[in-house]
Amino acid sequence: MIDRRTFMTCAGGVALGATLPVGAQTPRVARLGVLATQPPSSPTNAPSWKAFYGELQARGWVEGRNLAVEARYTEGRPDLERQLAAEVVAAGVEVIVAGGSQAVSAARDATRTVPIVMTNVSHVVEAGYVASLARPGGNITGVTNQLGDLMAKHFELLRTARPDTRKIGVLWSPDNLGSAIAFKDMQMRARDLGLALVSLPVDRPDELDPALLLAQRESVQALHVHPTAVIGAHWRRISAWATDRKVVTISGFNGFTRGGFLLSYGADFADIWRIAATFVDRILRGAKPADLPVEQPTKFELVINLKTAKTLGLTIPQQLLSRADEVIQ
């Protein structure tokens, strides 16, 4: 289940663009730790990893040459985060890139000295990861996904795609700080809009089926899916369940929509991981995370899956289609 990539022996490796004089020492191999939910082989996450490693290579860091990667992936088992974070720290890495709120929390608990670059995280100040966006103040910096700020937009999209939407099931993870804060915000915004939310908490894989059963009993018309580690690992089951029951699906992660969800609106996740690579580069070159302001995404995407809409018997309004960045036929 857990993909482990050990440090590669790079004797004789040369930094990009460097020419070694006779008798010179081989340049050091930088050590990068990775703590994330899914490996590069995951179809939904592959674009993000391609962007991340592509940016590192563009900045002169090539795995197997002057970069060694110690990676751990939970693959739907967030209960393993602490163990895997400890393993990454024990491997002697110089910087850790942590994807997702639970990965960041586990990495922070494992070390207060090794720099941590967070990515795919929302509400980073409220969660206590940084003192402020401008002055992180500790060993953590990186880029947010701002998913928690987009809930009102998601409700608007749902009502545009399916005007009769009144009851929305929310698949969320209480143990995930970003998801928990976002769910509280959703409750307030739903009340203002006259929408009823059905709480469907999922922190472990065995909680998914009871959550979907509750959604069925409550006759929800839509599912809002938080892309947490455990929920994201089962997106195919969620998509199939919703499609079979004519339930509209929406998320902040475009990978789910490309795989079968109806809608997604959120930051371009590949761009988020590309930005994370720039933080890794700066830290490996000597920058301190406390001095690097947290960045927020600037590219947001609306993705609509027309194949799913047809299966659901929905006609997506042209006004919504014209706003889409990607329409899956």
Residue 318 has pLDDT above 50, yes or no: yes
- What is the C-alpha to C-alpha distance for residues 122 and 64, in angstroms, rounded to an integer? 32
Lowest model confidence (mean pLDDT) among 21-35, 226-240, 278-292, 304-318: 21-35
State the pLDDT at residue 17: 41
Mean pLDDT of 200-213: 96
Mean pLDDT of 86-107: 96
Band (178; pLDDT cuts 50, 70, 90):
confident
Band (1; pLDDT cuts 50, 70, 90):
very low
State the pLDDT at residue 15: 38
Please give the share of the chain, as a percent, with pLDDT higher than 90. Answer: 74
Mean pLDDT of 233-237: 92
Band (12; pLDDT cuts 50, 70, 90):
very low
**Helix-, strand-, coil-residue percentages of the chain, each rounded to 5:** 40, 20, 40
Residue 227 has pLDDT above 60, yes or no: yes
DSSP string, 203-250: SSGGGHHHHHHHHHHTT-SEEEE---HHHHTTHHHHHHHHHHTT-EEE
**Average predicted confidence (pLDDT) for the chain:** 90
Q: Is 165 helix (H, G, I), strand (E, B) or coil?
A: coil
| Nearest alpha-carbon partner for 61 in 28, 36, 37 | 28
**Per residue in 126-154, pLDDT tens?**
889 999 999 999 999 999 988 767 888 89
Q: Give the residue ranges of DSSP H helices in the chain.
A: 46-58, 81-90, 101-110, 151-161, 177-193, 208-217, 229-232, 235-244, 254-259, 269-284, 306-312, 318-321
- What is the C-alpha to C-alpha distance for residues 72 and 270, in angstroms, rounded to an integer? 19
Token duo for residue 114: 């090794």
**Per residue in 102-122, pLDDT tens?**
999 999 999 999 999 999 898
| Nearest alpha-carbon partner for 265 in 237, 296, 233, 227 | 227
Q: Is 253 helix (H, G, I), strand (E, B) or coil?
A: coil
Residue 144 phi/psi, 5° resolution? -90, 170
State the pLDDT at residue 26: 62
Residue 214 has pLDDT above 60, yes or no: yes
Band (11; pLDDT cuts 50, 70, 90):
very low
Lowest model confidence (mean pLDDT) among 90-94, 198-202, 265-269: 265-269
State the pLDDT at residue 5: 44
Token duo for residue 245: 């029951």
State the pLDDT at residue 28: 84
Instruction: Count the neighbouring beta carbons within 10 Å of the beta carbon of residue 71.
Output: 19
State the pLDDT at residue 112: 96
Q: How far is CA 76 from CA 73, 112, 119, 263, in A?
A: 9, 26, 18, 22
- What is the C-alpha to C-alpha distance for residues 209 and 93, in angstroms, rounded to an integer? 38
Torsion of CA 212, 43, 5, 297, to 10 degrees: -90
Mean pLDDT of 243-248: 96
State the pLDDT at residue 16: 41
Mean pLDDT of 241-256: 94
Residue 18 has pLDDT above 90, yes or no: no
